[in-house]
Chain A
Amino acid sequence: MQQIYDDIRGDFRYDNELNGCLNCGICTATCPAAHFYDYSPREIVQLLWTENVEQIYDAMQEKIWACAQCMTCAARCPFKNSPGGLVAIMREVAIKHEMQSAKDVLRPFGRVMLKLITTGNQLSPDMIQPDHFPDWGPNIQKVEGDLSVLRKAIPVKTLQTVETAWEVSLKTSVEMYTIWEMTGVLKSLELMDENLFDVIEDFIDEKREEYDEWLEEQEDDD
């Protein structure tokens, strides 16, 4: 528990995001998550400010995942605190310590994570189909038709895609893999969801091979 708190406090952003607290509550008054959840940015700041290690740990079980990360709290705070920024640090630490709350939260995120890590794009047209979002209603779009044809009717070449938001070059995706590896993102993913990590690893190997082959072809052409 103490280690978790030390990791939060040890983040280099911490002193930038926490400068004191008047307990005025304007952050909570303007917080969208506070409308619907048992969540208060003022409480988060207070727990950290008073070094209440036990309750910080409790807040990381659930509360920190309520925050909508809009940063209204940060814009309003007379002390220039950023409760939303502190929550971001706490989420990272929850992942680092393999907390169950983080695993539960990440499960529905799997599809986005797979898309992001493998392509460098977070979202794609084929993800935003009516069967994925029944609550968006029957008229999710105003012209029926084959998705690939509708995408080709966008007059911008990079956007005529279905499986990614825009066409990302292979070289670009491969560069992203290096970033994920060197910054410990893949390691975090492995801690959180081993199955998803395995799928992603296979995909990355395949893409790297594809890129190497392409490079060889280029050399042969020269």
Chain B
Amino acid sequence: MKPTDQNGSPDAGIAGHGSFFQETNLSREEAVRATDWVRKHVDRRTVDLGERMDDVREHMYELEKEGEIIIHRITDGHEPMTVKTLFGWEKKIPTKQLWHHKSCGQCGNIPGYPTSLLWFMNEFGFVPGKDYLDETDQTSCTAWNYHGSGIGNVESLSAVFLRNFHQAYVSGKQHGHELGHFFPLVHCGTSFGNYKEVRKYLIESAALREKVTKILGKLGRLVDGKLVIPEEIIHYSEWVHVMRNRIASELQKIDVSNIRATAHVACHYYKMVHEDAVYDPEVLGGNRTAIITSVAQALGAQVIDYSTWYDCCGFGFRHIISEREFTRSFTMDRKIRVAREEANADVMLANDTGCVTTMDKNQWIGKAHDQDFSIPIVADVQFAALACGADPFKIVQLQWHASPCEDLVEKMGISWSEAKKNFQEYLKEVEKGNIEYLYNPELAYGGQA
């Protein structure tokens, strides 16, 4: 009903002032009672959204019931842990039997990301070929190219998604396991965001499903004539998040309480299909995604806030290649400078490919503009691996980073020069063919563990 003033004029405001304003004459107790709800902390994870927010998974289950698709389910074998997402919905994070969906930017440029992750799985006693699989039969998600150039389309992105995830679904067979044994663990933030987006489009559009079914049929990648779609899309940093307490209690060897850490969470982790990102009331008051901060806190580091926490890194997809003056200006001005001046950070922790590359590689050029700021840039999983005693070169692969990671390593009480000397000795062994592996290399080609 439109508010009116005491003369019945419909143009009155509702701001509690003006000629129509009347005292309520409430007693103090009544006033307190009436405004109690305002004082309460309103947690958006408890708000009933009604029909304002759709959970795509409900529609997936319906499509499965109708016999249209097969859902790659998370089972007890995957030993899932349940977390809460932005609106308080539950999301299952499988912790075992994982199919590593690698990231082109990480593997090509920051290999310490995937090696640290696989190293953790080995440290937990996971058996390669049974508890995880890394193989050659997978492609990039192709979303970097799409966001950068516009070449590509929803059909191509969807077909790539379904092709890779079909492979994850059937990959266990050649190792003697059931269909669906390995569940995909997506390493890249952009792949994660893109896959969630195209999954939504696939569920919403019968026309799109029809188009890509033809393509997948031609590739021989349908199961019983149906598309295989995963129950959840899982990012590696969610695995790190749910394993954080085990990492800290079972594996941590180095006290990191003297380390001042800042977090930069990938835009494509929590800004795309935002309802799926993980939030925890115990981390950052539940007001920001828990990813990264939660593991840094579990390890005992000091997590320091800074005013541009929500900002993008400046990667830009297209810009990192062809307009780097934007990329480096933005990352230096909005991330590195702020983390240095406000937080005096020892390290910036990230959970994506482009972010680490952008923030790590663009610090040197800042000197040209008297922006002499520098901060070590590593992924959450690399920092955690260092804290658990992983070799900074052989496992964490810090030799590929441009930012001053040696400062971080030294502050953690690890001798950089000693580790480097050992690594250079190891390189001589590599040249002779004496290579140390995290799993039997034959596994990558379908061979046995």
Contact = CB atoms under 8 A, between A and B. Distances in A.
Contacts of B149: 91, 105-106, 109, 112-113
Interface string B387-410: 000000111011111100110000
Interface string A138-164: 111111010001101111111111001
B286 interface: no
B365 A136 contact: yes
B310 A30 contact: yes
B326 A71 contact: no
Interface string B18-33: 0000000000000000
B424 to A, nearest CB: 7
* Interface size, A (range): 35 or more
Interface in B282-333: 310-312, 314-319, 321-322, 324, 326, 328-330
Contacts of A150: 399, 427
A113 B148 CA distance: 10
Interface stretch (A32-40, A51-59, A204-212, A213-221): A32-40
B215 A182 contact: yes
A153 B115 CA distance: 11
Contacts of B321: 108-109, 112
Contacts of B170: none
A139 B406 CA distance: 13
A155 B140 contact: no
Given A33-B326, A92-B150, A120-B139, A155 B108 contact: no
A160 B153 CA distance: 31
Contacts, number: 275
Contacts of B405: 142
Q: Which of A71, A95, A171 has the largest number of chain B CB atoms within 10 A?
A: A71
Interface stretch (B223-231, B268-276, B341-349): B268-276
B134 A137 contact: no
Interface residues of B, number: 101
A105 B401 contact: no
A186 B330 CA distance: 34
B365 to A, nearest CB: 5
Contacts of A95: 150-151
Contact of B444 (A68, A109, A124, A167): A167
Contacts of A46: none
Nearest to B221: A175
Contacts of A47: none
Given A70-B267, A71-B272, A145-B427, A171 B137 contact: yes
Contacts of B160: 176, 179
Nearest to A132: B321
A176 to B, nearest CB: 6
Interface in A93-122: 94-95, 102, 105-106, 108-109, 112-113, 116, 120-122
Contacts of B150: 88, 91-92, 94-95, 102, 105
Nearest to B212: A183
A203 interface: no
A165 B159 contact: no
A123 B109 contact: yes
A187 B420 CA distance: 49
Contact of B108 (A30, A102, A124, A176): A124
A158 B427 contact: no
Given A71-B267, A142-B398, A178 B205 contact: no
Interface stretch (B68-76, B87-95, B239-247, B429-437): B429-437
Interface of B: 102-109, 111, 114-115, 118, 134-140, 142, 144-156, 159-160, 163, 193, 201, 204-205, 207-208, 214-215, 218-219, 221, 267-268, 270-272, 274, 310-312, 314-319, 321-322, 324, 326, 328-330, 334, 361-362, 364-365, 393-395, 397-402, 405-406, 420, 423-424, 426-427, 430-431, 435-439, 441, 443-445
5 contacts: A36-B330, A69-B317, A71-B271, A136-B364, A159-B111
Given A74-B274, A188-B152, 10 more contacts: A33-B326, A71-B271, A112-B145, A116-B142, A123-B140, A135-B362, A143-B393, A152-B430, A165-B106, A188-B153
